[in-house]
Chain A
Amino acid sequence: GQQLNQSPQSMFIQEGEDVSMNCTSSSIFNTWLWYKQDPGEGPVLLIALYKAGELTSNGRLTAQFGITRKDSFLNISASIPSDVGIYFCAGQLSETSGSRLTFGEGTQLTVNP
Chain B
Amino acid sequence: DGGITQSPKYLFRKEGQNVTLSCEQNLNHDAMYWYRQDPGQGLRLIYYSQIVNDFQKGDIAEGYSVSREKKESFPLTVTSAQKNPTAFYLCASRKTGVAHGYTFGSGTRLTVV
Contact A31 B99 (CB under 8 A): yes
Q: Are B92 and A42 in contact (CB under 8 A)?
A: yes
Contacts of A98 in B (CB 8 A): 31, 48, 50, 56
Q: Is A9 an interface residue (CB 8 A)?
A: yes
CA distance A42 to B107 in the complex (A): 6
Given contacts A1-B59, A42-B90, contact A101 B40 (CB under 8 A): no
Query: CB within 8 Å of A: which of B54-68?
Result: 56, 58-59
Residues from 88 to 113 in B contacting A, C-beta threshold 8 Å: 90, 92, 94, 96-97, 99-100, 102, 104-107, 109
B31 CB to nearest chain A CB (Å): 7
Does A24 interact with chain B (Cβ within 8 Å)?
no
Check if A22 is an interface residue, CB within 8 A of chain B. Answer: no
Contacts of A48 in B (CB 8 A): 99-100
* A 1-14 to B, binary, CB cutoff 8 A, 1 in contact else 0: 10010100100000
A40 lies within 8 A of B106 (CB) = yes
Find the B residue at minimum CB distance from A10.
B40
In the bound complex, do residue B59 and residue A101 qualify as a contact, i.e. CB atoms below 8 Å apart?
A: no
0 or 1 for each of A78-113: is its CB under 8 Å from B? (1 = yes): 000000000010001001001111111110000000
Query: What are the nearest 10 A-B pairs in CB distance?
Result: A42-B104, A103-B42, A48-B100, A103-B43, A31-B99, A105-B42, A98-B48, A41-B106, A42-B106, A104-B42
Could you list 24 examples of A-B contacts with CB < 8 Å?
A: A1-B59, A31-B99, A33-B99, A33-B102, A40-B106, A41-B106, A42-B90, A42-B104, A42-B107, A43-B104, A45-B100, A95-B96, A95-B97, A99-B94, A99-B96, A99-B99, A100-B58, A101-B43, A101-B45, A102-B42, A103-B43, A104-B42, A105-B42, A106-B40
Binding site for A on B (CB under 8 A): 9, 31, 35, 40-45, 48, 50, 56, 58-59, 90, 92, 94, 96-97, 99-100, 102, 104-107, 109
Contacts beyond the supplied A33-B99, A40-B106, A95-B99: 11 A-B pairs with Cβ under 8 Å: A4-B42, A9-B40, A31-B99, A40-B9, A43-B104, A88-B43, A98-B31, A98-B50, A100-B48, A103-B35, A103-B42
